[in-house]
Structure 1
């Protein structure tokens, strides 16, 4: 598939190249986290004003899962309760945290007029697969069980995330359907990783190695998975799930210059074939990771607005 970057995306890519930042696969996990954390100051837009932002501690078998609650100024309340989105940040299951996605969570809360709860799940390689999955499921179940005290309407609880977070959202939706989690109103999958086999065509196109390169994905995979057998586990590769019927409505966003493009598009197509209501949005001139770069990329802000409208449509 021919890929031509939008002018602003090409400018951002050039700036990253000229900055001479080391490739993640040449760094330790700790070093990569520091670089990723620093980049947000140059790329995140100004956050919208919210009514309240507060820390949460979600109990888990290993201790607690840190989380952050975002309450918009005008939540869509019914009987005093608002819809909510449980959000899992991206970062290849190795980098990223509550701070890296703080602004985009604020944006989603504002655009969707709903409560957002960001989950700081355990990262690899200190905590390998399926630690992140266990945290995502545990957090979602706890939020549903404590919905009323959080001001949330449990019947309007959605899940979502970008990249690795989109993977965790897809897996959590599958687990919830099969009895390990609560009823889910919708799943927001922003350029999700769905198949660790990495054999889709977009993984081998030179034009898709923009910021997120094929070698970086392998670096993430090797940190996260315990070995090649995990590739076939649907909890790592949701595309390996034998049945996708009965899942909640999905919004799937993909980008043209993204190694994960084809697996995201294929997952959306399979959801549709299984009878799931799916809204797809393809942004041909952008690269993986653009969604959090609203300070530099206008398409990111457009995407936030469109996703906000979709979330409102869920009820």
Structure 2
């Protein structure tokens, strides 16, 4: 379908990635813009019982987790959420992530744990992935404290966070970590070599560009040779068997569009149940804009429904 009219108008106001980045200033500006945009473009999240932050130790430092608990007194499923931001930005404390946490906690009946992993280029791969793995371990080990079922932990993420979520499932499988019951990947980048057709057909003109992705990888990866590593480009992993079932959602007008469909196909080929949907009319950044786009509300409702169904299927 055609590009959504609101997404089309949004493209006129998007700023390109700066040629030279002062990373602390970049992140501060990004946080301020997110606060303003969330109020203008996103419906408020539903009421929940509690939002709290905890700081956990990780190798070489600490990271913060933001925990959203719905209005329920029983032990609940947990959803570990990994935010986007090109590995250099974004935050678990971003108001869009707060809204997402409220929506999924209330709508899917789970405790949402958003991970504020450390960022590149100060912290390059595999720091981000290791931080997320540490957050998963902490979640499983503190199940009683945070009121969750350690046997029903799902993982989700958007964009770079979806890349980390997919990599996390591989790392958990390979290292025998806490069982992940389900993965929900939104606008994922899973082949960082940029070899799929949409990296060319949608590489310019839709906000996120193929050139931007290349620059972000320079910040994220310690060396170009890492780009083919399974935990960097999960689509290129030689073996995807034994991973949790997945639902993958891609945007139609996104350089990363083909990543999601290709990953769903490879999972299915490996015997892993995986479903895929294409967000028609969307660009990479438009799914959270629920106040202004009916298709964004549909996207949100689909994600919540998929998580809710995953919880039911593991509870029967």
| Alpha carbons of structure 1 residues 31 and 296: separation in structure 2 relative to 1, 3 Å | farther
Q: Offset of 1:25 from its aligned partner?
A: 4.2
Partner Cα distance (1:35, 1:214) in 2? 23
1:118 matched to 2:114? The reply is: yes
Alignment gaps of 5+ in structure 2: 312-316
Higher mean displacement: 183-192 or 32-41: 32-41
Higher mean displacement: 262-271 or 26-35: 26-35
1:182 matched to 2:207? The reply is: no
Partner of 2:82: 88
Alignment gaps of 5+ in structure 1: none
Q: Deviations over 1:233-271 (max 9, x none)?
A: 111111121111111110100011111111121011101
Partner of 1:55: 53
Partner of 2:8: 10
The alignment's TM-score, normalised by the length of structure 2, stands at: 0.91
Partner Cα distance (1:9, 1:293) in 2? 9
Partner of 2:64: 66
| Alpha carbons of structure 1 residues 298 and 34: separation in structure 2 relative to 1, 3 Å | farther
Partner of 2:314: none
Q: Which runs of 4+ in 1 moved over 4 A?
A: none
Q: Offset of 1:211 from its aligned partner?
A: 1.5
Q: 1:298 aligns with which of 284, 294, 299?
A: 294
Partner of 2:260: 264
Q: Offset of 1:34 from its aligned partner?
A: 3.0
The alignment's TM-score, normalised by the length of structure 1, stands at: 0.91
Q: Offset of 1:157 from its aligned partner?
A: 0.4
Structure 1 contact 173–248 (Cα < 8 Å) conserved: yes
1:1-315 to 2 correspondences below 5 Å: 4-14=2-12, 16-17=13-14, 21-40=15-34, 41-42=36-37, 43-74=41-72, 80-100=74-94, 101-206=97-202, 209-315=205-311
Partner Cα distance (1:140, 1:297) in 2? 33
Higher mean displacement: 207-216 or 44-53: 207-216
Secondary structure of the corresponding residue to residue 67 of structure 1:
strand
| Alpha carbons of structure 1 residues 196 and 242: separation in structure 2 relative to 1, 3 Å | same
CA RMSD of aligned residues (A): 1.7
Structure 2 contact 66–113 (Cα < 8 Å) conserved: yes
